[in-house]
Amino acid sequence: MERKVRWGIVSTAAIAKDVMIPAIHRADYAEVVAIASESGRADQVAQELGISKAYDNYEQLLDDPDIDAVYIPLPNSLHAEWTIKPAALCEEDVRRMIEACGKNGVLFMEAFMYQSHPQHERVKQLLAAGEIGDIKYMRAHFSFYLQDRETNIRMNHELGGGSLFDVGCYCVHSTRHILDAEPIELFVQSYFDPHRSVDLTTNGWMRMENGVLAQFTCSFNMFPQNEYEVVGTKGKIVVSRAYRPDVNEGEGRITVVTDDGKTREEAVFGDQYALQIEHISRCILEGTRLMYSPDRMIKQAQALDACHASIETGRIVRLSRKGKSTWK
């Protein structure tokens, strides 16, 4: 395969400069050809990172006929606007984005980069093989201590801030992904910043459709952790670098503890950001199916909507098979 997918980057955000653009440079089948910024920094960043085109507004980049794919590292609240105009704060926005992309023949995938790391498929293999018996419980935790609270967009409610949208979404997603099941009932509580309408810590439990109970915690107020644990009738599996193995040079770590007293560790390596870019690039070039379907993106949005409904009402929320929520 000689041709490469030509990527444009909407924004000079830190995640784009420090993570995604270097990942595209490392990836096969992909190259960065343009970057846009409305802050006046596009030229500088383009020169620093060896990008041939720089635009002073997003429209110019989106209108460039030489661009095949676009990565949008804008605040959560702006994802839908610049996709429709490639997920979003609610189910309605996700559906609008999927519909708009479908009408225009555009592939669309929410960038849950962690799922591209091969350690999670290894966990699924172990579960399917009955390594820990019947699955009964899963716990997910993603936290860090946020320092620059006065200026960080994560503290801006209007831009989709808060720990649930920023890191808790990974906990919810990984629970759905690893268990291959959707929540049918959940209860979620949050501790909010006293001066801003954003959650600093959120804790929730979910009852999944396959009968497994799940819990998650996300926070801007805690020591950094990014892990999940699956407990069965014969043992447990702990993935201690679940969401950010890239900070450990791509090394994922799986610990298996079984009821015969044995413990073993497996190291699984992968460049999750580059693998994500390669996957979407191959889908564009070869017409293959996306690993993360529109239906599953909608179900993720439904689960997060239900979490927010529980936080707002202080009640248990029940989800129907169609994703509609009721509470008691």
**pLDDT (tens digit, 9 = 90+) per residue, 262-307?**
999 999 999 999 999 999 999 999 999 999 999 999 999 999 999 9
pLDDT of residue 75: 63
- Per the prediction, the chain carries an average pLDDT of 92
pLDDT of residue 159: 84
Q: Residue 321: which pLDDT band, with cuts at 50, 70 and 90?
A: low
Rounded to a whole number of angstroms, the CA Rg of the chain reads 20
Residues of each domain in the chain carrying CATH 3.40.50.720? 5-103
Token pair listed for 8: 């444009």
Burial class (CB within 10 angstroms; exposed 0-12, middle 13-18, buried 19+) of 49? middle
Token pair listed for 240: 């201690």
Q: Is the pLDDT of residue 51 over 80?
A: yes
In angstroms, the CA 252 to CA 246 distance is 8
How are beta strands 263-269 and 251-258 bridged, if at all? antiparallel
Mean pLDDT of 4-18: 93
CATH architecture for segment(s) 5-103: 3-Layer(aba) Sandwich (3.40)
Token pair listed for 263: 């413990």
pLDDT of residue 27: 96
In angstroms, the CA 20 to CA 17 distance is 7
CB of 56 within 8 A of CB of 42?
yes
Q: Residue 83: which pLDDT band, with cuts at 50, 70 and 90?
A: low
Model pLDDT for residues 135-177, shown as the tens digit of each residue: 999 999 999 999 999 989 899 988 889 999 999 999 999 999 9
pLDDT of residue 76: 59
pLDDT of residue 87: 55
Residues of each domain in the chain carrying CATH 3.30.360.10? 117-271+290-327
Say which CATH class 117-271+290-327 falls into. alpha beta
Q: Is the pTM of this model over 0.75?
A: yes
The SS3 assignment for 81 reads helix
- Which comes out higher in pLDDT, residue 133 or 38? 133
Instruction: Give, as one character, the DSSP assignment of residue 108.
Output: -
Q: Where are the beta strands (DSSP E) in the chain?
A: 5-10, 30-36, 53-55, 69-71, 135-145, 183-192, 199-208, 213-219, 221-232, 235-239, 251-258, 263-269, 317-319, 325-327
